[in-house]
Structure 1
C-alpha cells in the first residue's frame, strides 16, 4: 500500500490517544511530536510539516476537543481533516472544454512514466467518462517513445496521431487538434518530450506548444518514489508552465509518501490522479479525504465500492445473493468471484480499504500470497463438474486425483473443502442479517 511506513507510524501514534476520556496538552504535545517525526521520515517538506503540526496543535488543545465527550476521537478527527486539507481538501476534477476537443498536455521528466500514464488517462476517460480520446506523440527526440505510445494505442484500440521525428512538436500538436475536430474526438492528450532534468530547451519547447494549442489542462507526471525531488520538479515546472495539476505515478510502491503530502502545499496545484500499478486500468482519481482515511487506518469504503461496482453487475450480484441465502453457492461461483476480486486490484490494497482492517487479527501486516490463490484455482479446476456442484461426494480417491491434477497435496484439498463449507455458512448468516435491515445493502464479491 502507498504510505505504508508513514501509515504504520501514524496509526501506532494516534492509537495511544484514541480511547482517552480526557486529553491533556501534554498528550497532544507528545502525539504531535511523533506525527512530526513520522512525516519528516516520510520525506514531507519541512515547512509543510511545521505548518501542519502548528494547525493540529492549535485545534487539538482548543475548545472543540477539550469539551468533547470523546476527546481522543476528536483529536483523530482533527488530524484527518488537516491531512485532507494538506492534500487539497477535495477531489479536483478534470476539465471539460465548452468547445471540444478538450486539450491535455502531459509534461514531466524522463523516467516518471509519462507515456504510460498518457495511455492510462485515455483509458480512464473512455471507460469512466465515455470519452473518445486521441493520443498525440510529440516526443520527437526518442523514437522509442513514439513507438511505445503507438503500442499502447494498439493495446487500448485507440487512435494515435504521429508525424514521426522530422516534424516539430508544435506542428504535430497543432495538426493533431485539427484531426481531432475532423474525427470528433472530445479529448486530445499530448505526450510531450521529457529530459533527465529541467533545462531551458525543454521549457522553451513546452511553452511554445502551450501558447500554440492553449491546453485546458497541463498535467505534470511525477514519480512519487523520488520523494522530495518530485516536489522540487513540480515547483520548477509550475513556475515555468503554470501547470493545472499533478499525476503521481508508482503510488502503490514502497514509497515514503512525502511527495503526495507536499505537492499541493508547495505548488498550490492539486494532485488529480494517482498511478496504483503497472496495468493500463490502474490509474485512479485522487481523493484527498479517502487517502487521509487510508493513511490513518480508517479504510476507504467509497473506493472499495467503486472497484466492486466496476467488476460486478447488478444481475450477477442478485444471483449471488440468492445462492448465498439458499446455500446453493458452488465452487464454480467461488471461482467466478475470485476472478472478479482479482480484477479489482491487488488484494493487500483492497484489504487496506476495509475500515479497521489494520486492527483485525490476521489482516494487520498480512502478506497476501498470490501463489496460494493460484493453488486454490488449480484445485477447483481439477474437480469434475459434479464435484464442484456437490463437494459432499468427495472421497479419498477423488481427493487424491484432484491433488495430483492441481499439483498440490490431499491436505491442501481437505483444507479448501473445510474452508469452503465454513464460508457458505458464514455467507448465509451475513445475507440473513442483511435481509433484517431496512434498505438494500452493498453486495461485494467474495473476499
Structure 2
C-alpha cells in the first residue's frame, strides 16, 4: 500500500514538541539503555513494609527476593514515579499516622546497592482522613507533583516548590578592562521549603483518576465522576509550565458522550507518536473506546472512536507505547482472557486488530511499562493477591510469551505499582 502524504499538525499556542522533527524523519521513543523495571508494593504478610523487586540489570531477569524500602508499616494507597534526574520516588500512607510519606532513591545509582532517602512527611490534605488513590508525576519543570483522592471524592494536589531568585553581588573584569567592577545579578537558589501546601482541585467529585504528561510536560488528570449512576469522564489540565495554583488549571471538562457511554474502568491516558494524548477506557457495550487531543497539546478533543471491538465484556484495561512509539492496548475480559491491540499509525488511526494473547492469573490492578530494549511488560494482580508479569516476545512484537513470571505468590492485597528505575545501582540483590 502506498503511504499517504502526512499533513502538518498544528500545536495549541504555548505547546511545543520537546525535540523538533526534521522533515522526512520520525520521532523515536527515547528508551534508556541503563534503565530497569521495578515493582513496589506493601507486603502485608510481613508487617506491611514498603518493599521492591526489580530486574537485576537492564533487560535482565527479576531478582529472587523482595527488598525492604523502609520497615515502617504502610497502608493503601501508594504510587510511584521518577524525579527529574531519573531517581525512583514513592508516596504511601504511613499506618497509624495522619501522613503521606514521600521517599526517593538516594544518590545517582552509582553505588553498589539500591538505597533510599529518609521518608519526608507531606501530612494529609486539610480535613481528609481516608484516601482512595495516590498518583505521583513530574511536571514540565521536572518537579514532583502528588495527587491525593479522598474517599469522599475530593482531589488534592501538592508540588515541590520552584527555585527562588535571589540577587547576588559579584566582581568581574569586563572585556577590554583591567580593573574589576561590582555588579548585582539574579541567581537561582533552592527553595527554603521543598514542598508547598496541599491545594484542592475542586469543582467536581471524582471516584477514579489517572495522570499523564502532555507533550510539553504539562500535567493532565483524567477523572471518572463519583455518581455511580452516571460515570462521566472529566479532564483537567495545567495551563502553564510553572503551575502553582488551582487557578492555573483549566478546571474539569466533561468529555464523555452518548457515543462513548459512561466510564466503566480506570481511564488510560497515553501519548502517541504524533505527540497527542489519547484516553482509552472501557465504555459503551463494555468495550474499548478512545478519544484523542486534536491538535496535540491542546484543550480540544476528537470525536470518540473505537480501536476495533474485542466483542466480549471487558473488565480491565492497560495502555502503553512500544519501541516504535506506537500505542499498545491490553484488555482483560470477564473470563480472564487477555487481548492485545497494537497501533500502526497514530495520525490515521490504524490498528493491527485485537488478538487473544493469554489467560490472566486473576483480576485486579493491571499496569504496563517497557524494559530498556523497548519490550512491553504487562503486570497483573493474581487471584491470591500476588503479582505476575507477561512480557512481549520482543520489541514491537505482536506475540507475547506463553508463560507468566510470578513476582509474588501472595501478600499484596494492598496493591503494587510499577516504575522504571533510570539510575540502577551497580549491583542488586539476588
TM-score, normalised on structure 1? Answer: 0.24
TM-score, normalised on structure 2? Answer: 0.25
Larger Rg: 1
More helix by share: 1
